[in-house]
């Protein structure tokens, strides 16, 4: 219950010492940490748990839908923390701690974008809270946390902030009892590469500069390391990326995990949560919404705050409130419709192989197989997603289309689809792009819109206590919905020369047949009766990636190619030709996906 005074809370700024020195100044790097905690607990000698958000965004860009930044008084002591966590949880007996990641805002060191410095700088804060690291105030006097905290820490954050929570949990650090990663990265390779395909050139260096808080050329050597280690030239997975792959150490995670992710997030794509989730062997829960890169606080505010409150009470306060015995999964199945389920992917989903059929010679079928069919097309770098998925019964240069018959009953795709293509290419490599499409009119969340599925309203609601300098009130939001004729359910990309391994390039020999599997992003969607499921295949995708090769001519052997779906239900048997689907193209995207930074 909110029994402690937020207005009288202790507000202090400290600097935590780390064992690192990647800015090479001969002094251990220090992490700036801003604390808000109930004064009454200190007066009574009570020790309380901590909610920690470690972020690179506190000064450069802000947090939340309203881009709030930290604010300080004339003495450099925190007066305003972004977001509602301190306003809501400090009166309920928690401390809130906001840490500037190394190289950002008031911290020293240099940001290494998901690497050792970033993760260990945040881990040092957990160590300080548990008496294993030292800190000082601005005047150099010691700052000791164990006088007011029991060390039980929960990390939370959206996007980059949630990614570092994943990274710290993967160290197995003691005292970290739970994490809440929201739209978070679990593998930086998969964020900046799509199976060997470059997302955007010089992306690590771009992200470093976006959040860098150090003067001049202090971090030039680190930027050079980012450039060399990320290896744009090959797209290979190497030691640089392995250091930033938290999934490898999922077995070391001790903390419980509450995940939230948008099923239509094209910034931090859904494979990030799905592959992390599947490797965790701890108490866990997941919320999946139909939005894009959006915090659940701005989707379903009442329910999300209530869930967070119960989750932290259970895993930080130790209250046996039953949340650990409730269904693991909460999914938005349609705008405003939420269901709870026992597991994810859906228990009823089965891996289903769907053959690619000849169809009418223009559009193939999903199911039915092929006698001696093939398709040949030439890469069209200018082909947008909008044009690629529209008019599936027409010839569109640069893409091939396959359609199911109209569904006789609803089916559900729950998990990670993929398509295996038997191809012959006239160049040493090509990008291969696959899209799974639901053709049929429905009212859907407008995740392609400017708000990625939400609209910000003029009204406000308050979530916790306020002061004159830090209020708990935020503009309300509503789901942004649209009625349209189709929706892209999942996307996937693969560099054909990485078909053997992501660690090295195996150039294709022109004229030779190869089997290349294109993994798609995880999804959970229901396709209504009467709708048609489509598979669209093209080569390079300049909208979502930065292809390093283009112009290839590709021949696809239908007999040796197939779509693999995690399917609950069954697709109908195809007819002799692909069904006619009359669809208008989707609305033009208003938020370009390729160069989005990690903030909202």
Question: Residue 190 — φ and ψ, nearest 5°?
Answer: -70, -15
Task: Indicate the residue among 341, 366, 384 that finishes a domain.
Answer: 341
User: Tell me, what's the pLDDT at 600?
Assistant: 46
The rounded distance, in Å, linking the Cα atoms of 497 and 427 is: 10
Is the pLDDT at 196 greater than 60? The verdict is yes
Identify whether residues 75 and 166 lie together within a single domain. yes
Task: Indicate the residue among 321, 341, 361 that finishes a domain.
Answer: 341
The rounded distance, in Å, linking the Cα atoms of 537 and 400 is: 5
Is the pLDDT at 595 greater than 80? The verdict is no
Identify whether residues 333 and 365 lie together within a single domain. no
Identify whether residues 92 and 169 lie together within a single domain. yes
Identify whether residues 223 and 362 lie together within a single domain. no
Domain that holds residue 39: 10-341
Is the pLDDT at 596 greater than 70? The verdict is no
Task: For 314-357, write each residue's pLDDT tens digit.
Answer: 999 999 999 999 999 999 999 999 999 999 999 999 999 999 99
- Could you give the angle at the alpha carbon of 137 between the alpha carbons of 213 and 223, nearest 5°? 20
- Within-domain flag for 307: yes
DSSP 8-state secondary structure symbol assigned to residue 187: B
Task: For 92-151, write each residue's pLDDT tens digit.
Answer: 999 999 999 999 999 999 999 999 999 999 999 999 999 999 999 999 999 999 999 999
Task: Indicate the residue among 341, 374, 396 that finishes a domain.
Answer: 341
**Closest C-alpha to 268, from 534, 111, 452, 525:** 452
The rounded distance, in Å, linking the Cα atoms of 12 and 35 is: 5
Pairing of strands 193-194, 329-334: unpaired
Identify whether residues 304 and 434 lie together within a single domain. no
* Residue 471: CB atoms within 10 Å: 15
Is the pLDDT at 587 greater than 60? The verdict is no
Task: Give, in order, the Cα–Cα distances in Å from 294 to each of 96, 299, 477, 583.
Answer: 22, 8, 11, 28
**Closest C-alpha to 71, from 38, 106, 114:** 106
- Within-domain flag for 423: yes
- Within-domain flag for 3: no
User: Tell me, what's the pLDDT at 440?
Assistant: 96
What residues have CB less than 8 Å from 227, skipping those under 6 apart? 202, 204, 205
- Within-domain flag for 119: yes
Q: Please indicate whether residue 265 is annotated as part of the active site.
A: yes
What residues have CB less than 8 Å from 433, skipping those under 6 apart? 491, 492, 493, 518, 537, 538, 539, 540, 541, 544
The rounded distance, in Å, linking the Cα atoms of 547 and 525 is: 29
Q: Please indicate whether residue 531 is annotated as part of the active site.
A: no
Output the pTM of the full model: 0.95
Identify whether residues 14 and 118 lie together within a single domain. yes
Q: Please indicate whether residue 374 is annotated as part of the active site.
A: no
Per annotation, catalytic residue among 208, 261, 293, 499: 293
Identify whether residues 427 and 551 lie together within a single domain. yes
Identify whether residues 390 and 325 lie together within a single domain. no
The rounded distance, in Å, linking the Cα atoms of 117 and 125 is: 13
DSSP 8-state secondary structure symbol assigned to residue 314: H
Identify whether residues 138 and 14 lie together within a single domain. yes
Tokens read off for 385: 């997603």
Helices and strands (DSSP H and E) totals, the chain: 11, 29
Identify whether residues 216 and 97 lie together within a single domain. yes
458: part of which helix (H) or strand (E)? strand 454-462
Per annotation, catalytic residue among 159, 370, 540, 549: 159
Question: Would you tell me the crossing angle of helices 203-211 and 220-230 to the nearest 10 degrees?
Answer: 150
Task: For 477-497, write each residue's pLDDT tens digit.
Answer: 999 999 999 999 999 999 999
Domain count, the chain: 2
Average per-residue pLDDT for the chain: 94
User: CB of 556 within 8 A of CB of 400?
Assistant: yes
- Within-domain flag for 586: no
User: CB of 110 within 8 A of CB of 100?
Assistant: no
Over its C-alpha atoms, the chain yields an Rg (Å, rounded) of 25
Task: For 139-182, write each residue's pLDDT tens digit.
Answer: 999 999 999 999 999 999 999 999 999 999 999 999 999 999 99
User: How would DSSP label each residue in 42-55?
Assistant: HHHT--EEEEEEEE
Is the pLDDT at 592 greater than 50? The verdict is no
- Could you give the angle at the alpha carbon of 347 between the alpha carbons of 346 and 351, nearest 5°? 80
CATH of the domain at 178: 3.40.50.1820
Over 53-95, what HEC string results?
Answer: EEECCCCCCCECCCCECCEECCCCCEEECCCCHHHHHHHHCCE
Q: Could you tell me where the DSSP H helices lie in 334-466? A: 385-389
The rounded distance, in Å, linking the Cα atoms of 403 and 366 is: 5
The rounded distance, in Å, linking the Cα atoms of 264 and 452 is: 9
Identify whether residues 110 and 218 lie together within a single domain. yes
Average pLDDT over residues 445-454: 95
SS3 124: helix
CATH of the domain at 468: 2.60.120.260
Q: Could you tell me where the DSSP H helices lie in 171-257? A: 188-192, 203-211, 220-230, 239-243
User: CB of 111 within 8 A of CB of 104?
Assistant: yes
**pLDDT tier, 597 (very low <50, low <70, confident <90, very high otherwise):** low
Per annotation, catalytic residue among 23, 34, 161, 265: 265
Q: How would you class 336 by CB atoms within 10 Å of its CB: exposed for 0-12, middle for 13-18, buried for 19 or more?
A: middle
**pLDDT tier, 550 (very low <50, low <70, confident <90, very high otherwise):** confident
Identify whether residues 269 and 204 lie together within a single domain. yes
User: Tell me, what's the pLDDT at 128?
Assistant: 98
162: part of which helix (H) or strand (E)? helix 160-169
- Within-domain flag for 596: no
- Within-domain flag for 590: no
- Within-domain flag for 582: no
């Amino acid at each position: 219950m909110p029994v402690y005074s937020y207005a009288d809370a202790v507000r202090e700024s400290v600097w935590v010492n780390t064992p690192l020195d990647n800015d090479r100044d001969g002094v251990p790097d220090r992490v700036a940490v801003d604390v808000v905690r109930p004064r009454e607990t200190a007066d009574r000698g009570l020790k309380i748990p901590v909610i920690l958000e470690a972020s690179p965004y506190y000064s450069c860009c802000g947090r939340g839908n309203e881009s709030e930044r930290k604010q300080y008084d004339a003495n450099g002591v925190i007066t305003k923390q972004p977001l509602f966590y301190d306003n809501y949880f400090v009166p309920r007996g928690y401390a809130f701690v906001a840490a500037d990641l190394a190289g950002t805002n008031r911290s020293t060191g240099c940001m290494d974008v998901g690497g050792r410095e970033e993760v260990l700088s945040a881990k040092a804060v957990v160590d300080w809270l548990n008496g294993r690291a030292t800190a000082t105030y601005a005047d150099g006097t010691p700052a000791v946390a164990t006088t007011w905290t029991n060390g039980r820490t929960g990390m939370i954050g959206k996007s980059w902030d949630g990614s570092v929570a994943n990274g710290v949990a993967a160290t197995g650090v003691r005292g970290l009892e739970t994490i809440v990663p929201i739209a978070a990265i679990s593998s930086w390779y998969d964020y900046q590469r799509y199976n060997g395909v470059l997302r955007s050139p010089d992306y690590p260096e771009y992200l470093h500069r976006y959040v860098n808080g150090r003067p001049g050329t202090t971090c030039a050597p680190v930027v050079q390391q980012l450039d060399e280690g990320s290896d744009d030239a090959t797209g290979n997975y190497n030691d640089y990326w392995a250091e930033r792959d938290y999934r490898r150490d999922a077995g070391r995670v001790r903390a419980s995990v509450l995940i939230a992710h948008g099923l239509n997030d094209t910034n931090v794509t859904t494979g990030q949560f799905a592959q992390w989730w599947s490797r965790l062997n701890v108490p866990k829960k997941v919320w999946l919404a139909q939005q894009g890169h959006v915090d659940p606080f701005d989707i379903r505010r009442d329910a999300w705050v209530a869930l967070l409150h119960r989750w932290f009470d259970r895993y930080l306060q130790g209250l046996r409130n039953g949340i650990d015995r409730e269904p693991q999964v909460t999914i938005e199945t349609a705008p405003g419709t939420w269901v709870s389920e026992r597991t994810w992917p859906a228990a009823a989903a089965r891996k289903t192989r769907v053959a690619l059929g000849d169809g009418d010679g223009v559009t193939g079928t999903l199911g039915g197989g092929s006698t001696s069919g093939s398709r040949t097309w030439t890469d069209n770098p200018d082909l947008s997603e909008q044009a690629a998925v529209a008019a599936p019964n027409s010839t569109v240069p640069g893409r091939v289309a396959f359609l199911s018959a109209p569904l006789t009953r609803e089916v559900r795709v729950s998990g990670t689809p993929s398509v295996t293509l038997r191809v012959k290419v006239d160049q040493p490599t090509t990008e291969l792009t696959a899209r799974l499409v639901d053709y049929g009119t429905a009212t859907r969340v407008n995740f392609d819109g400017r708000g990625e599925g939400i609209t910000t309203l003029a009204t406000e609601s308050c979530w916790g206590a306020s002061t004159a300098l830090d209020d708990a009130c935020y503009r309300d939001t509503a789901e942004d919905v649209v009625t349209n004729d189709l929706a892209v359910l999942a996307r996937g990309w693969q560099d054909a020369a990485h078909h053997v391994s992501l660690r090295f390039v195996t150039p294709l020999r022109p004229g030779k047949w190869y089997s290349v599997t294109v993994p798609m992003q995880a999804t959970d969607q229901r396709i209504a009766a009467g709708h048609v499921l489509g598979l669209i295949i093209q080569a390079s995708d300049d909208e979502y990636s930065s292809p390093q090769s283009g112009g290839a001519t590709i021949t696809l052997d239908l007999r040796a190619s197939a779509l693999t779906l995690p399917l609950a239900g069954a697709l109908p048997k195809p007819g002799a030709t692909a069904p006619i689907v009359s669809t208008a193209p989707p609305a033009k995207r208003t938020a370009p996906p390729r160069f989005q930074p990690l903030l909202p």
